Structure 1
């Protein structure tokens, strides 16, 4: 499908994207690990929900140090998930269900088990040594004081040599050297190979880290470990535009694909460079609102007592930046975030279907392409683990030990991790109230379930008309089938409210105006409801006050002058 100009209608703007975490979606062969055949088996469910594209998290050959984001072979499928024929079948079967397939592209780093890296270690004089970033030791110590994203020094000593290699993330994820043209050619050939297989596009992982400051200098420490976050010297650094433009021109621009950049660290004022008419990507993920609960999006133990007003300001600021620059994404969950119901609704009384529907309608109709993360459409919540040994996620384990080092108690550290762990969204999907929640037929899953009662499950919600599942189904119908011109391409306008705890905005064209109103608090709030047709309401009635966590979508009766 040819790509449209960015300022016109485009198929990827009209998509509703569902993220599948294959390891936890559906285990078709009962080995405890979800797989590609499991995704194929559940395509009818996804079609029933109404989504039009799936983003499948990494299924490449990998030792799974970071659950597949450490790739050992870009051209092979991890046997736990199946084989390349399964992937080709997924693309074909998804198409039969009206669903396109987007995959993860991880090109900031590889696994340390990738042949390039193993040859770089075995043959220091080979071309592969320059595919990665090796620096000599300084006084028998690492080259600088950079801390990796997953904790500890960002440098790993090479056995038998007086040098280190750089890893922005885990030590088993050595960074690729984008300064090397030969390395870039290898990357472009791989991307082209996947696009020729018929995938619809890529979510591009950690892409703002590919350019490092070439002085490799130390900075003042920001923790008692004497280290400083690597992001200040390796995230969205000057010169990255050269790499990103070349990447686009050599690969994406040649195909009618969609690209979604994971772009932390990009100021709102610079969004035009990323998603403008000549931007590197079609869309990017913005984390200003998603990381509202942690200080500067940093370590999870640096908590913030955020307010709805701050959350709303972050949401609307991102919206305005997207609109001014090009096109954006709307999301409240993904594989790196905890469950929104537990994070954004702090009153446990409303961490229920009412709250789940409120969050859904609040975000879904904003300007941009909406993303739904698996289980979000059921209103899944965080778990509550009692021991650090129950966690699989390396970032969770790192943050736990960092919190202890910073002086917190083990109980406090565990509370931080329960709130923010990436494992919260990675637990096996509950398909039914049966053995292992229908995830498989009884084998021990690779990760503990969120809850073992499986009261929240897809089968029950599919058969109950007032469920969260059917609420999401209705959201998709409104956006894509009934009001696409206003809810996809219409203008976006924040609305003034008397209460800081109300999130309200309008989507409008020359002759239509739809209003989204959500009370993000646990108390009734005064709001003058516009006159019009109520298209959606998570309560049975509308009174003079908005009920706690009530959300309403109204098609307003307006004249052209009012629009």
Structure 2
């Protein structure tokens, strides 16, 4: 099976299923739910990190790349998980956090203790002559990107939390150590790797100040040397396996670089995650704001990346949701009045595009943002910081909370709803984060009489059945329509028309003239519409999605 046929599921282990009653999801919990996962017919699961970590950034601060954190289980549990998944034809993708490691990691601890060899694993710099920080870069989590390196008088660079020290990729010993990590997990049978914020590893050795009014990220994002590092990593690790699937999380990247990262001949990565389409409800580019999403902008971005990557021979990872995003259904759908229909419409848009679709746990049952009523219900450090910042800017508590409710990362981290019980069937203990809405939205009810899960099953089956979905070209249809996003996939003399109404208002939509009256097959419709001929006008109901295969 090729990359284009695959569908990948994402599990945030902490919130999936708790097998031992401590309120935190774990590996044995995932093993118990394999029969559920098998029903979707997914090919691979990407797991957020479950390595040893102080958990300052939910496991993205790794203290030991070779060990399972006892919070989640043991290496024996992992071995059993990978074996049982493989018996069900599901492969494993692990999260490799290689831009930085935890300050608890032995490399950093040895550096602190004065070991010169390990000091060269990090970006350690003296303050400027006037005693100020080595440069003016900002941390992505707020504040400066420098922290004191023990009592040495030097500082270490941390683009993220101060407990996450950036690794010095210029040092070949660092690269060698990181490649060893990949090869360790490859030997255990891991067939997929996701690389966290991998396009910021190319920082310059001089680490100059960012010019006035220029964001410091411009100086360290998508630097040309990143391609060289990825090629070296590919050659020394996963590039030796034909079947391995890799994806790079790319922070603030562009189409040209993403083509280069994913073009087969370049021997770098299989595909990239990019986030531009998930910023269309940011006011003036600021996340902690609350405005309706910009539909035209959303269409334009999806379209530009489809056209650009296709023309350049690159490959997209397709996704609406992940552990860092609020639920797409709450952002771009109508979770109150048309939860099922808007969930199915969003799924149709994504799964019929060119690229590899990802499904985040709970998306397939139509989970939505929890309606937490107090900042104390939230756990995420970024969320709590943002709330304080909003209050500092003069917003009242209610307005600040409304923004938090819309944008917090805890939205998608709330535990998976397995049933309608008080703890949502997630745990017998106290859940680390409160479940909400499980009375209406849960796996048991969805499997019994829901329509979203079977709709996802059908979309996954279609990708594996129709080469036009996996391999077809992409072109837009009428991008300027105020409420419909329609596109056409083409392959071997066939055309697939995909028509999606993004709003609750019904609309009469005119189809391109050259397809009208041609024989067609309805591949999928979330209103059970069956058309045998392409009409001149199709009347779309609220959040209707329709895909017509034209012979």
TM-score normalized with structure 2 length:
0.92
- Give 1:254's aligned residue: 240
1:367-399 Cα shifts (integer Å, max 9, x gaps)? 011100000001111122233232222222232
Deviation of 1:77 after TM superposition, in Å, equals: 0.2
- Give 2:455's aligned residue: 471
Alignment of 1:291 with 2:279, yes or no, is yes
Alignment of 1:130-529 (within 5 A): 130-138=120-128, 139-219=130-210, 229-256=215-242, 257-279=244-266, 280-294=268-282, 299-301=286-288, 306-324=293-311, 325-345=313-333, 347=334, 349-350=336-337, 352-440=339-427, 442-451=428-437, 453-464=438-449, 466-480=450-464, 482-483=465-466, 485-496=467-478, 499-528=481-510
1:201 and 1:533 map into 2 onto residues whose CA distance is 35
Give the unaligned 5+ runs of structure 2: 531-536
2:397 and 2:212 map into 1 onto residues whose CA distance is 24
SS of the residue corresponding to residue 290 of structure 1 reads helix
Alignment of 1:62-141 (within 5 A): 62-123=53-114, 125-138=115-128, 139-141=130-132
Alignment of 1:535 with 2:526, yes or no, is no
Deviation of 1:433 after TM superposition, in Å, equals: 1.7
1:26 and 1:454 map into 2 onto residues whose CA distance is 18
2:300 touches 2:479 (CA, 8 Å); kept in 1?
no
1:341 touches 1:351 (CA, 8 Å); kept in 2?
no
SS of the residue corresponding to residue 548 of structure 2 reads strand
1:438 and 1:523 map into 2 onto residues whose CA distance is 36
1:393 and 1:303 map into 2 onto residues whose CA distance is 19
SS of the residue corresponding to residue 485 of structure 2 reads strand
1:19-49 Cα shifts (integer Å, max 9, x gaps)? 0000000101111111111111111111111
2:220 and 2:335 map into 1 onto residues whose CA distance is 39
Task: Say what the alpha-carbon RMSD is for the aligned residues.
Answer: 2.0
1:300 touches 1:399 (CA, 8 Å); kept in 2?
no
1:508 and 1:270 map into 2 onto residues whose CA distance is 26
Q: Which moved more, 1:526-535 or 1:237-246?
A: 526-535
Deviation of 1:304 after TM superposition, in Å, equals: 5.8
2:293 touches 2:332 (CA, 8 Å); kept in 1?
no
2:481 and 2:310 map into 1 onto residues whose CA distance is 25
Deviation of 1:302 after TM superposition, in Å, equals: 5.0
1:47 and 1:218 map into 2 onto residues whose CA distance is 51
2:77 and 2:16 map into 1 onto residues whose CA distance is 15
Q: Which moved more, 1:351-360 or 1:311-320?
A: 351-360
2:185 and 2:276 map into 1 onto residues whose CA distance is 31
TM-score normalized with structure 1 length:
0.90
1:151 touches 1:402 (CA, 8 Å); kept in 2?
no
1:94 touches 1:100 (CA, 8 Å); kept in 2?
yes
Task: Report how many aligned residue pairs link the two structures.
Answer: 535
Q: Which moved more, 1:519-528 or 1:36-45?
A: 519-528
2:8 touches 2:359 (CA, 8 Å); kept in 1?
yes
Aligned match of 2:542 in 548, 554, 560?
Answer: 548
1:21 touches 1:426 (CA, 8 Å); kept in 2?
yes
1:410 and 1:215 map into 2 onto residues whose CA distance is 43
2:505 touches 2:542 (CA, 8 Å); kept in 1?
yes
1:365 and 1:213 map into 2 onto residues whose CA distance is 40
2:279 touches 2:287 (CA, 8 Å); kept in 1?
no
In structure 2, relative to structure 1, the CA distance for the partners of 1:497 and 1:189 (3 Å cut) is closer
SS of the residue corresponding to residue 289 of structure 1 reads helix
Deviation of 1:525 after TM superposition, in Å, equals: 1.5
2:345 and 2:425 map into 1 onto residues whose CA distance is 28
SS of the residue corresponding to residue 437 of structure 1 reads coil
1:14 and 1:291 map into 2 onto residues whose CA distance is 28
Deviation of 1:508 after TM superposition, in Å, equals: 2.4
2:62 touches 2:105 (CA, 8 Å); kept in 1?
yes
SS of the residue corresponding to residue 279 of structure 2 reads coil
1:266-316 Cα shifts (integer Å, max 9, x gaps)? 2112322111123310111121212222257x5412566542121111001
In structure 2, relative to structure 1, the CA distance for the partners of 1:295 and 1:273 (3 Å cut) is farther
